[in-house]
Amino acid sequence: MEHFNKTFCLEVKGDYACFTRPEMKVERVSYDVITPSSARGIFEAIFWKPAIRWRIRKIEILNPIKWISVRRNEVGQTASDRSEGIFIETARQQRAGLFLRDVAYRLYAELEFIPHPNRTETKRSVPEPLLDTWEKEEFRKDENPGKYYGIFERRARKGQCFNQPYLGCREFSCEFRLIDGHTTETVPISETRDLGFMLYDLDFEKNVKESSPAFFRCCMEQGVINVPAWDSEEVRK
């Protein structure tokens, strides 16, 4: 069955954000604006299934880019099921970070429907308590892209999400709302700048167990970033 991808728009905002540059190994330093991978994570926090894939197409920056330097305590270890826990007093590290503050974006993403033969297997299905009764009824019906479009719209309009969306780091949670019309919305900032190479996303297509980063040249024109297609030559994998 032939179908077309539908584009959705979300407006997100938060007090702080950190889209960490991978070249900064020790101290956290954020990119100037949100990365496509972080934007994708926000859409997936609201709705995701193995049958769909989110493709970020455009980012609008609504607030001027502002920075804040923060020194904070972090835990330098990761807990595992085999360990007996972490004693924080011995694992604590003090690290500096250069974050963004008072951020607001308008994110445009295509919801791409994946035909059944092309899907990858997943072992982490959505827990039953996170699904509403009407969603369970929808999944029992014949599968088609329109069903997924409708489910996302209803979830985003109600403010529902599987986990709280965040801006780069989980401690920087954000608010979101679905944008239906753009006539009365805030206009992007009037700033044009070449932001250099930016992380696009992690590439799992070559090797599912070991991903590799993909980058693109990020150029902001009058507060708008047009994100190239994943398969285009502009994306360096």
60 inside domain: yes
- Tell whether the model's pLDDT for residue 1 goes beyond 70: no
* Total structural domains within the chain: 1
More confident residue, 209 or 8: 8
Q: How confident is the model over 4-10, as a mean pLDDT?
A: 89
Q: How confident is the model over 75-104, as a mean pLDDT?
A: 87
Question: Rounded to an integer, what is the distance from CA 28 to the centroid of its chain?
Answer: 18
13 inside domain: yes
Question: What is the chain's mean pLDDT, rounded?
Answer: 87
117 inside domain: yes
By mean pLDDT, which of 31-40, 59-68, 116-125 is the weakest?
116-125
This prediction has a pTM of 0.85
Query: Domain residues for 153?
Result: 6-74+94-236
* In the block, residue with structure tokens 């702080």: 16
Task: In whole angstroms, give the CA distance from residue 34 to residue 147.
Answer: 29
Task: In whole angstroms, give the CA distance from residue 167 to residue 39.
Answer: 8
Is residue 123 exposed (0-12), middle (13-18) or buried (19+ Cβ within 10 Å)? exposed
- In single-letter form, the type of residue at position 87 comes to F
Percent of the chain scored above 70 by pLDDT? 86
Q: Give residue 5's pLDDT.
A: 83
User: Tokens in use for 39?
Assistant: 């934007």
